[in-house]
Amino acid sequence: MAAKAAPLEETSAGGVVFRRTPENGALFLLIRDSYRNWGFPKGHVEPGEERADAARREVAEETGLADLVIHVPVQDIDWFFRFRGRLIHKTCAFYLMESAAGEVCPQKDEGITACRWLPFEEAFKTVSYANAREVLRAAGQLVAALAVP
């Protein structure tokens, strides 16, 4: 009997991006991927790249936002999936990021079909995956604890 191959390890980083508005308080940015699932911008960490730098780069690439301020790490999540018959174990580090700008541009060539700014409760109901909802819950608590500038 052949031994099963160990899962291939992949590391990603992404951002839970928020912006402050006088009328709605904090709004959170969600993206819709090519599978029509709502979540957060994220992508692969390049060799030699710091996770926070990768998160900022991926958010900028997928949303067009360039004025991102990284506050703190939010949470790491991991999951398993199969790709071309191979078991993959992916870990993704999420960072809390703030954007002063509200103008986003979903990058179709990155597979992003839409971007939306939503209040916490609506964002929480919209996020497609349970582990991403937990990341949003943690980010919402961090945003609430931030001092208003």
Parent domain of 62: 8-145
CA distance 37 to 90: 18
Our count of domains for the chain comes to 1
CA distance 133 to 123: 9
CA distance 15 to 69: 10
CA distances (Å), 100 to each of 10, 30, 95, in order?
31, 16, 16
Instruction: Tell me whether residue 103 is in a domain.
Output: yes
Instruction: Tell me whether residue 74 is in a domain.
Output: yes
| CATH number of the domain encompassing residue 135 | 3.90.79.10
Reported pTM: 0.91
Instruction: Tell me whether residue 1 is in a domain.
Output: no
pLDDT tens by residue, 65-108: 988 999 999 999 998 999 899 999 999 999 999 999 888 988 88
pLDDT tens by residue, 17-73: 999 998 878 999 999 998 899 999 999 999 999 999 999 999 999 999 988 999 999
Instruction: Tell me whether residue 2 is in a domain.
Output: no
Instruction: Tell me whether residue 130 is in a domain.
Output: yes
User: Coil, strand or helix: which one is 67?
Assistant: coil
β pairing state of 68-83 and 86-99: antiparallel
